[in-house]
Structure 1
């Protein structure tokens, strides 16, 4: 979790402004809707968030 902000900063530093749609998928306001997530080029999250999402919805596969 502590590295999410660092990864976000690094992606923003090393890519041209506006080239990538970036989403940090963490916290109480995160979405689990696949269509909303698919609108981003990069989705950063933790293993725990991903594992919890897969446990709560066995039909959803997030890659």
Structure 2
């Protein structure tokens, strides 16, 4: 699925998030973005975003 509004590389299903993806998650979360909005930007699952925030690996 290709989103024209996203300026990031699409995340491949089944692959680990890279450090810059984790940094993006933290930055967008601190700006008040929802997990769904962050997931749309990274082209990943909202639950993946939630797991990363819960783990605090950024």
Could you tell me the TM-score, scaled by structure 2's length? Answer: 0.41
Larger Rg: 1
Looking at both structures, which has the greater relative contact order when contacts are Cα pairs under 8 Å and sequence separation is at least 6? 2
Could you tell me the TM-score, scaled by structure 1's length? Answer: 0.38
Q: Which has the higher strand share?
A: 1
